[in-house]
Amino acid sequence: MTLSPSVPSRQKPFILALIGLGLVLPFAVYPVFLMKGLCFGLFAAAFNLLLGYVGLLSFGHAMFFGWSAYLTAYAAKEWGLTPEIAILLGVALATVLGAVVGWLAIRRQGIYFAMITLALAQLGFFVAVQAPMTHGEDGIQGVPRGHLFGLFDLSDTMTMYYFVLAVFVASLLFLHRVVNSPFGQVLKAIRDNEPRAVSLGYEVGRYKLIAFVLSSAFAGLAGSLKSLVFQLASLADVSWHMSGEVVLMTLLGGVGTVLGPMVGAFLVVAIQDFFAGIGSWVIIIQGVIFVVCVLLFRSGMIGVLAPWLKRRGITG
Amino acid sequence: MGDEFIVETRSLTKEFKGFVAVSDVNLRVRRHTIHALIGPNGAGKTTCFNLVTKFLTPTKGQILFNGTDITHTQPAAIARHGMVRSFQISAVFGHLTVLENVRVALQRKQGKSFQFWRSGECLNELNTRAEELIEAVGVAEYRDTPAGELSYGRKRALEIATTLALDPEMLLLDEPMAGMGAEDVRRTADLIRRVSANRTILMVEHNLSVVADLSDTITVLKLGRVLAEGSYAEISDNPEVVEAYMGSGHGAAGHG
Ligand SMILES: Nc1ncnc2c1ncn2[C@@H]1O[C@H](COP(=O)(O)OP(=O)(O)OP(=O)(O)O)[C@@H](O)[C@H]1O
Ligand SMILES: [Mg+2]
Tell whether B75 and B183 lie within a shared domain: yes
Nearest-neighbour CA in chain B from A195: distance (Å): 8
Q: Packing angle between helix A62-77 and helix A240-253, nearest 10 degrees?
A: 120
- What is d(CA B118, CA A186) in angstroms, rounded to the nearest whole number? 13
Q: Which of B167, B198, B213 is the last residue of a domain?
A: B167
Q: Packing angle between helix A240-253 and helix A300-311, nearest 10 degrees?
A: 30
**Whose Cα sits closest to atom 4 in ligand 1?**
B16
Inform me whether the pLDDT recorded for B70 exceeds 90.
yes
Q: What is the pLDDT of residue A181?
A: 92
Tell whether B107 and B62 lie within a shared domain: no
Q: Packing angle between helix A83-105 and helix A110-130, nearest 10 degrees?
A: 140
Question: pLDDT > 90: what percent of chain B?
Answer: 54
Segment among A216-230, A266-280, B3-17, B216-230 with least mean pLDDT: A266-280
Q: What is the mean pLDDT of residues A277-304?
A: 71
Q: What is the pLDDT of residue A304?
A: 63
Structural domain contains residue A252: no
Helical segments of B113-224, H only: 127-136, 152-165, 182-195, 208-214
Q: What is the pLDDT of residue B170?
A: 94
Instruction: Give the model's confidence band at B45: pLDDT under 50 very low, under 70 low, under 90 confident, else very high.
Output: very high
ipTM: 0.89
Q: What is the mean pLDDT of residues A279-306?
A: 70
Inform me whether the pLDDT recorded for A6 exceeds 60.
no
Q: How many residues are given for chain A?
A: 316
Inform me whether the pLDDT recorded for B46 exceeds 90.
yes
Nearest-neighbour CA in chain B from A102: distance (Å): 17
Instruction: Give the model's confidence band at B256: pLDDT under 50 very low, under 70 low, under 90 confident, else very high.
Output: very low
Q: What is the pLDDT of residue A308?
A: 61
- A281 phi, psi to nearest 5 deg: -60, -25
Q: What is the mean pLDDT of residues A116-139?
A: 86
Q: What is the mean pLDDT of residues A36-49?
A: 94
**How many Cα atoms occupy the beta-carbon half-sphere of B153 within 13 Å?**
12
Tell whether B172 and B157 lie within a shared domain: no
Q: Which of B167, B190, B224 is the last residue of a domain?
A: B167
- What is d(CA A78, CA A69) in angstroms, rounded to the nearest whole number? 14
The pLDDT tens digits for A233-245 are 888 888 888 888 8
Q: What is the pLDDT of residue A9?
A: 52
Print the domain residue range for B136: 91-167
Tell whether B176 and B254 lie within a shared domain: yes
Which of A295, A23, A308 lies closest to A162, judged by CA?
A23
The pLDDT tens digits for B205-236 are 988 889 989 999 999 999 989 988 888 888 88
Tell whether B172 and B245 lie within a shared domain: yes
CA Rg value for chain A: 19
The structural domain count of chain B equals 2
**A14 Cβ under 8 Å from any chain B Cβ:** no
Structural domain contains residue A268: no
Nearest-neighbour CA in chain A from B121: distance (Å): 6
Inform me whether the pLDDT recorded for A226 exceeds 90.
yes
Structural domain contains residue A85: yes
CB contact under 8 Å between B120 and A180, yes or no, is yes
Q: What is the pLDDT of residue B55?
A: 93
Structural domain contains residue A103: yes
Q: Left, alpha or beta for B8 (phi > 0: left; psi -120 to 50: alpha)? A: beta
Structural domain contains residue A121: yes
- Nearest beta carbon to residue B93 from set A1, A184, A196: A196
Q: What is the pLDDT of residue A1?
A: 37
Inform me whether the pLDDT recorded for A30 exceeds 90.
no
Tell whether B155 and B229 lie within a shared domain: no
- What is d(CA A204, CA A151) in angstroms, rounded to the nearest whole number? 45
Inform me whether the pLDDT recorded for B253 exceeds 50.
no
Ligand 1 atom showing the smallest separation from residue B14 Cα:
12
List b or e across B176-195, with b for residues whose CB sees 16 or more CB atoms inside 10 angstroms.
bbbebeeebbebbbebbeeb
Inform me whether the pLDDT recorded for B87 exceeds 60.
yes
Environment class of residue B50 by beta-carbon count within 10 Å: exposed (0-12), middle (13-18) or buried (19+)?
buried
Tell whether B190 and B143 lie within a shared domain: no
Q: What is the mean pLDDT of residues B231-246?
A: 80
The pLDDT tens digits for A233-279 are 888 888 888 888 888 888 888 787 778 888 889 888 888 887 777 77
Inform me whether the pLDDT recorded for A162 exceeds 60.
yes
Inform me whether the pLDDT recorded for A65 exceeds 70.
yes
Inform me whether the pLDDT recorded for B159 exceeds 80.
yes
Extended beta strands in chain A, E state: 140-141, 147-148, 152-153, 232-233
Q: What is the pLDDT of residue A4?
A: 40
Nearest-neighbour CA in chain A from B72: distance (Å): 16
Q: Which of B167, B190, B217 is the last residue of a domain?
A: B167
Ligand 1 atom showing the smallest separation from residue B17 Cα:
4
Print the domain residue range for A211: 29-239
Nearest CA in chain A to B107: A182
Structural domain contains residue A49: yes
Instruction: Give the model's confidence band at A306: pLDDT under 50 very low, under 70 low, under 90 confident, else very high.
Output: low
Question: pLDDT > 70: what percent of chain B?
Answer: 95
**How many Cα atoms occupy the beta-carbon half-sphere of A65 within 13 Å?**
32
The structural domain count of chain A equals 1
Inform me whether the pLDDT recorded for A104 exceeds 50.
yes
**Whose Cα sits closest to atom 9 in ligand 1?**
B47
For chain B, the distance separating the N- and C-terminal CA atoms, rounded to the nearest angstrom, is 33
The bound ligand whose nearest atom lies closest to the alpha carbon of B219 is 1
Helix (H, G, I), strand (E, B) or coil at A103: helix
Answer yes or no: are the C-beta atoms of B220 and B48 closer than 8 Å. Answer: no
Question: pLDDT > 90: what percent of chain A?
Answer: 41
Answer yes or no: are the C-beta atoms of A56 and A181 closer than 8 Å. Answer: no
Q: What is the mean pLDDT of residues A126-150?
A: 81
Pocket of ligand 1 (CB under 6 A): B 16, 19, 21, 39, 41-47, 88
Tell whether B182 and B62 lie within a shared domain: yes
Inform me whether the pLDDT recorded for A119 exceeds 80.
yes
CA Rg value for chain B: 19
From the candidates A49, A193, A204, A310, which should be mutated to test the interface with B, based on the most B CB atoms within 10 A? A193
Distance from the CA of B222 to the center of ligand 2, in angstroms? 12
Inform me whether the pLDDT recorded for B77 exceeds 80.
yes
- Nearest beta carbon to residue A195 from set B87, B103, B121: B87
**A217 Cβ under 8 Å from any chain B Cβ:** no
Q: What is the pLDDT of residue B142?
A: 94
Tell whether B181 and B145 lie within a shared domain: no
CB contact under 8 Å between B114 and A206, yes or no, is yes
**A181 Cβ under 8 Å from any chain B Cβ:** yes
CB contact under 8 Å between B107 and A2, yes or no, is no
**How many Cα atoms occupy the beta-carbon half-sphere of A246 within 13 Å?**
38
Tell whether B72 and B95 lie within a shared domain: no
Structural domain contains residue A132: yes
Chain A, chain B: beta-carbon pairs less than 8 Å apart = 118
Q: Residue B68: which H helix or E strand, with range?
A: strand B68-69
For residue B202, give every residue at least 6 positions away whose Cβ sits within 8 Å of its Cβ, in sequence order, or none.
B7, B29, B35, B36, B37, B49, B52, B170, B171, B172, B173
For the ranges A43-47, A299-303, B2-6, B245-249, the one whose mean pLDDT is highest: A43-47
Inform me whether the pLDDT recorded for A163 exceeds 90.
yes
Tell whether B71 and B127 lie within a shared domain: no
- What is d(CA A252, CA A244) in angstroms, rounded to the nearest whole number? 12
- What is d(CA B47, CA B60) in angstroms, rounded to the nearest whole number? 13
Q: What is the pLDDT of residue B255?
A: 41
Answer yes or no: are the C-beta atoms of B51 and B22 closer than 8 Å. Answer: yes
Question: pLDDT > 70: what percent of chain A?
Answer: 89
**Whose Cα sits closest to atom 2 in ligand 1?**
B16
- A50 phi, psi to nearest 5 deg: -80, -50
Average pLDDT, chain A: 85
Answer yes or no: are the C-beta atoms of A42 and A218 closer than 8 Å. Answer: yes
Environment class of residue A8 by beta-carbon count within 10 Å: exposed (0-12), middle (13-18) or buried (19+)?
middle
Q: What is the pLDDT of residue B254?
A: 40
Tell whether B116 and B216 lie within a shared domain: no
The single-letter DSSP state of residue B207 is -
Inform me whether the pLDDT recorded for B252 exceeds 50.
no
Answer yes or no: are the C-beta atoms of A66 and A129 closer than 8 Å. Answer: no
**Whose Cα sits closest to atom 16 in ligand 1?**
B44
